[in-house]
Structure 1
Amino acid sequence: GGTGSRESQPLLNMLLRSELLGADYASPKSDKGESKRGPGNFMPEPSNLFRFKTSLDTMVEDPRSIYELSPVGGNSRRLLSTPRKAKRKIPKIPFKVLDAPSLQDDFYLNLVDWSAMNVLAVGLGSCVYLWSACTSKVIKLCDLGPENTVTSVSWTQRGTHLAVGTNIGEVQIWDTGKCKRIRSLEGHGARVGTMSWNSHTLASGSRDRSIFLRDIRVKDPVISQLSGHKQEVCGLRWSFDDNQLASGGNDNKLFIWDMHSTTPVTRFVEHSAAVKAIAWSPHQHGLLASGGGTADRCIRFWNTLTSSPLSCVDTGSQVCNLMWSKNVNEIVSTHGYSLNQIIIWKYPFMSKVATLTGHTYRVLYLAMSPDGQTIVTGAGDETLRFWNAFPPPKSKDGALGQSLLFPAGNDLR
């Protein structure tokens, strides 16, 4: 109710000004004049204010309107009949649900990623499965065997190669077109729960508290080893210009790194729980969002160009993932204890656009379709749910693009 009343307030203001002050003060053009007298000051300076014996012609735009039954004047009726911009409706139920047996309920893992080629990669137990959003076909990419499990998956930007992080600290690079493993990268001493690509450079974060930067094209791939976190590294994201890497840890710290330093260039320490959820804004250079775990529950925004905090909102529950819309200035968060919700927020005021429910376990996994319209969420309830969350991208001529095609089929394997 509160959101609806806020949305109708501008119309109500215009209606009151039209009825009380006349037609000249109902048009949006008068807003520009008002701003000179300061915000919120709607009182004009009519020449006939408190004059005695105002003529009928100056009071009534149309003399016949005196005999009409409606208490609302003609100008106000025209105002009410003006088409209002339709509010975007976000469906509260997923349009598709896939069964995902053995999808782990582990906060520190990243087991779902959606490629630029429109293929979803999902780690289930010791296996990685690829699901084509165009054809609904599923293939098993790999099986690590009974002694190992998949702990993270991450597509390259072009979407043809997939990095697979494992429980034993190995990172495998797969050519998904050929279903062939092309590299195995060792170095981590514990599970690799998070990875992020920067062109040919892969950042991997581990329970061993270290971050490796590796160029997978060269024989000796290690560019640098980044040390700073005191506990498991559970979140990694490169900025869109590939100049900054954000890392979150189970030590409640958020660090910013660049390509030329092995120590953080900025340290943010305001969170009071693990920082897994990290997202760079595609709309504003240097704007970073991060979310804290169960004891924190907050989404915080940072300016990494000035190393300064911007704002904070308490969500009321564990923040598991954050992702910005590509098409509008909104951000989606997924939550664990205790509400298991998906929330779409309007930035920068952080008003809720929609709250989506349905998962019965923590919503630990989140990915977005290449066109930015659809999000997929995963949880320990062993389901993947697809939601129509955002409007389509606009083409160069301003027209809305086409949606992805999702054929039938409801089992991932």
Structure 2
Amino acid sequence: MKFAYRFSNLYGAVYRQGNLSFSKDGNNVISPIGNRVSVFDLKNNSSETLPFSTVKNITCVGLSPDGGLAIVVDEDGAAQIISLITRAVLQHFHFHKPVSSIRFSPDGRKLVVTKENVALLYHAPGKHREYNALVLDKTYYGPYDETTCIDWTTDSKCFAVGSKDMSTWVFGAERWANLIYYSLGGHKDLVVGCFFEKESLDLYTVSQDGALCVWESDTEPSGLVLTKKLWRSPVRKSSSVSSRHFFNKEGEFNNLTCASFHKDTHILVTGFASGVFHLHELPEFNLIHSLSISDQRISSVVMNCSGDWIGFGCSGMGQLLVWEWQSESYVFKQQGHFNNMASLAYSPDGQYIVTGGDDGKVKVWNTNSGLCFVTFTEHTSSITHVTFTSSGFVIVSASLDGTVRAYDLHRYRNFRTFTSPRPVQFSSLAVDFSGELVSAGAQDSFEIFIWSMQTGRLLEVLAGHAGPVSSLCFSPVQSILASASWDKTVRIWDMIDSWQTKETLPLPADGLAVSYRPDGQELAVATLDGEISFWVPQDATQTGSIAGRHDLVMGRKESEKITAKQSAKGKSFTALCYSADGASILAGGQSRFVCIYNVKEQILMKKFEVSCNLSFDAMEEFLDRRKMTEFGSLALVDEGAGDGDGVQLSLPGVRKGDMSSRHFKPEIRVSSLRFSPTGRSWAATTTEGLLVYSLDGSMIFDPYDLDLDVTPASVRRQLRLKEWTSAIVLAFRLNEHALTQEVLETVPHKEIPVVCGSLPDVYVEKLLFFLAGCLEKSAHLQFYLSWAQNLLLLHGQKLKNRSGAILPTIQSLQKSLQRHFESLSKLCEWNIYTIRYAVALSKQRGLKRSAEQLEEGEEAETAQNEGKQEHGRVPFAGGGKRDACKETEVEQR
């Protein structure tokens, strides 16, 4: 098994904090998510998380005008210059202070960065490789408080900076003789946005109290000449603010939180703390419309280049919306779990991932697009476990609200609700391989409840555990249930023979997780002492154990007084998952690392660090001496003003989901793990979100049975000689994807059955796996389907004997076929209705045309009859010319 898994995508979160940005063409939204950046393609309805991460959460993103470069800055001021074309980090930079905003000039030659009360003008990175990409040009001082926003004039000659001291400062980007700086007052609250008019020095400023000031300039941008005053002073009556407007009418007070202005269409978008946004046309201040998108604060708003789409970000709900204001419809609407995710499960074909969170929502994500397409909100408390049935069309979830619910993915509805005779909190869940039996374990009554999926009736209550049931797992091949409990036992229950305990496995510590191997011949159990033990469930014998406590590297919390080494002694694995072939096991828990172990050798194969975000707690191994004071760590010192808003301490005992107004720093942990059915990827629900790791898709030179005669030239020589089987074997020995695809597509369609029949057995599985990958992306659907059909028909019996080893390949092939089936069926249905409409329309037009022809015929017949009566002959086209010719002939005669 290969272990070259790399970070692939981040699901479960679409926006956290910071500013949103549109790409140059306006079709992509760039959103910061924690310490990562995701790009959402609005045209193709897909998402991609860029393969880099910052040290702490990202607060602002600056995008160059050509769309090829981005600068991301985290909470401490550490910046990275990113190429959006190659998705690579070009350079690291540090501003040494938290940055409030960053903005490139329209010509792309300069950029302004504001931190504290200072504006810094830098030369923007060029296209040539430089030792120092950011060169400081000037430093501008003016505001007395922190800066909040930046805007440039369209000719890149001046820029404006808004501040919390209720003033707006206008600076010259070059050494203008008549403009060094100019201050504009007039607001009674901090300035949220400042915007220049297009090709003008007229300025709009918006403050938090909902006031809009319009400032007019008496000089054009091209007229920056030696004059004493460029701006009308707001002190004199003759040169006061041109106009002032207010968003909060009739005494209704609502904080304005963000604003965006589109210079071509003169449209101002403002977002408020109540979730309402307004669209106004400036400078007349005409209200276009006012709508509410949620009841949470709108954190960021941005308009695309054409001015048609508006992007909104709500950090409280983790929500990202793109609104088309002309048609008043959503272009894009996504929301992640705004609390921790507790569990995940892959569908049997690997196309979908279902997640359950502490917010009580069950969300289903498409693995191809990375977007959520359905959310179930029937639960009223935290979700503890979710799973798919073997059919892949039913999702089952357990919750602390005392219900287990089943959802139908065809009709998107909750069609079954399972409850217990008396209210209990369900902490674990499992569904058998037939999809008929649903079991859930209670954490307060220590019982296991069994229901029938078909009838919804409670079949049995299994008692015997003396502690909360932490995990349940059905055998993949027979109706046997394994349950792990805090009473230091794992019980094996026979679902066929009177629901009795078949075996009881003693554990050295409390059982936290249990998992069956895909063939049902082995059982893995994670216990509280950090060990993973392996058992043969048939005869209740232990075959081995792995001491994983040393691999659980745990950081030190800010509020803890013990070292990280001592803290790690109380940590353990809480999630286990076997690989598709059963040779490896994936383990994660109260740590930022996920480990892959070899089951047979019982050794660690690889460790994956799921997060390096220092904004989470328990990330650093040692305490920072700079944060130590005479009163102890700064994390333990309450620096609040006394009203609760500035308090930096969380409530006592709160570890997750702090709903009070106090500060909350989440702790990094892995709550659930699952391998994809294809074995090409695995996913983990963490504090960061739903992370997906997959095998690298780039070309890896991994030859098979290579010698000196195997070269691309020899492969193509065999193709010219029409030795198709030999060419395929040589291509697979060289193991280059492009060359193998070229060989397969060169083989004539009628030769496919012959080539498949003569292919050696060792290459059949390799070819099947290659076909599964090609079917997912290639447009030659029928061609590759012919290959797969002939391989399965001619080598089906041999493949059946090795069903366990080739299971990931078959599941990958099934996933590709299922995806094509769904897309083609939708296309065919659409085409049927389109053809029916076209036929009906053509019939209608045909009837109309025949009626018109009938009317024209009647009119022509009437005209002919009238012509006969007047001239004694039937008129025809060109008759005048023919008469003239006859007269000429008579004259000549």
The CA distance in 2 between the partners of 1:173 and 1:270, in whole Å, is 33
Residue of structure 2 equivalent to 1:113: 345
Q: TM-score, normalised by structure 2?
A: 0.32
Deviation at 1:235, TM superposition (A): 0.5
Q: TM-score, normalised by structure 1?
A: 0.68
Residue of structure 2 equivalent to 1:286: 521
Query: In 1, are the aligned partners of 2:585 and 2:596 still within 8 Å (CA)?
Result: yes
Deviation at 1:326, TM superposition (A): 0.8
Map 1:2-401 onto structure 2 (within 5 A).
88-91=2-5, 93-98=6-11, 99=13, 100-104=336-340, 111-117=343-349, 118-124=351-357, 125-144=359-378, 147-187=380-420, 189-198=423-432, 199=434, 200-207=436-443, 208-218=445-455, 221-259=457-495, 260-273=497-510, 275-283=511-519, 285-293=520-528, 296-316=529-549, 317=552, 318-327=572-581, 329-336=583-590, 339-359=591-611, 361-379=668-686, 381-388=687-694, 397-399=764-766, 400-401=769-770
The CA distance in 2 between the partners of 1:248 and 1:255, in whole Å, is 7
Task: Output one character per residue of 1:373-413: Cα deviation in whole Å (capped at 9) or x when no partner.
Answer: 2110012x24111112699xx9992213545789xxxxxxx
Query: In 2, are the aligned partners of 1:375 and 1:389 still within 8 Å (CA)?
Result: no
Query: In 1, are the aligned partners of 2:580 and 2:677 still within 8 Å (CA)?
Result: no
Residue of structure 2 equivalent to 1:35: none
- Size of the aligned set, in residue pairs, is 304
Distance 1:112 1:151, change over 3 A: same
Residue of structure 2 equivalent to 1:10: none
The CA distance in 2 between the partners of 1:237 and 1:315, in whole Å, is 22
Query: In 1, are the aligned partners of 2:402 and 2:419 still within 8 Å (CA)?
Result: yes
Secondary structure in structure 2 of the residue aligned to 1:398? helix
Query: In 1, are the aligned partners of 2:683 and 2:692 still within 8 Å (CA)?
Result: yes
Residue of structure 2 equivalent to 1:56: none
Distance 1:229 1:390, change over 3 A: farther
Task: Output one character per residue of 1:305-363: Cα deviation in whole Å (capped at 9) or x when no partner.
Answer: 11111111110141111111113611111131xx4321111121112221111236121
Query: In 2, are the aligned partners of 1:151 and 1:165 still within 8 Å (CA)?
Result: yes
Task: Output one character per residue of 1:282-314: Cα deviation in whole Å (capped at 9) or x when no partner.
Answer: 25x431111112xx1000011111111111111
Deviation at 1:182, TM superposition (A): 0.7
Deviation at 1:181, TM superposition (A): 1.0
Deviation at 1:89, TM superposition (A): 4.9
Secondary structure in structure 1 of the residue aligned to 2:508? coil
Distance 1:261 1:376, change over 3 A: same
RMSD over aligned Cα atoms? 2.7
Distance 1:135 1:104, change over 3 A: closer
The CA distance in 1 between the partners of 2:472 and 2:763, in whole Å, is 32
The CA distance in 2 between the partners of 1:390 and 1:136, in whole Å, is 17
The CA distance in 2 between the partners of 1:362 and 1:222, in whole Å, is 35
Query: In 1, are the aligned partners of 2:337 and 2:361 still within 8 Å (CA)?
Result: no
Shift >3 Å, 4+ stretches: 100-103, 401-406
The CA distance in 2 between the partners of 1:319 and 1:157, in whole Å, is 27
Distance 1:313 1:144, change over 3 A: same
Structure exhibiting the larger radius of gyration computed from Cα positions: 2
The CA distance in 1 between the partners of 2:370 and 2:503, in whole Å, is 43
Higher helix content, 1 or 2: 2
Distance 1:347 1:149, change over 3 A: closer
Query: In 1, are the aligned partners of 2:574 and 2:589 still within 8 Å (CA)?
Result: yes
Task: Output one character per residue of 1:169-205: Cα deviation in whole Å (capped at 9) or x when no partner.
Answer: 1111110221111111111632222211111111111
The CA distance in 1 between the partners of 2:470 and 2:508, in whole Å, is 14
Query: In 2, are the aligned partners of 1:115 and 1:155 still within 8 Å (CA)?
Result: yes
Task: Output one character per residue of 1:122-171: Cα deviation in whole Å (capped at 9) or x when no partner.
Answer: 113121111011333313431136x5332221110111001121212111
The CA distance in 1 between the partners of 2:532 and 2:488, in whole Å, is 13
Deviation at 1:266, TM superposition (A): 1.3
Q: Which structure 1 residue ranges, 5 or more long, are not aligned?
A: 1-86, 407-413
The CA distance in 2 between the partners of 1:367 and 1:103, in whole Å, is 20
Query: In 1, are the aligned partners of 2:518 and 2:582 still within 8 Å (CA)?
Result: no
More relative contact order in 1 or in 2 (CA 8 Å, sep 6+)? 1
Match of 1:341, as an amino acid?
A: F
Q: Which structure 2 residue ranges, 5 or more long, are not aligned?
A: 14-335, 553-571, 617-667, 698-760, 778-814, 816-893
The CA distance in 2 between the partners of 1:234 and 1:377, in whole Å, is 19
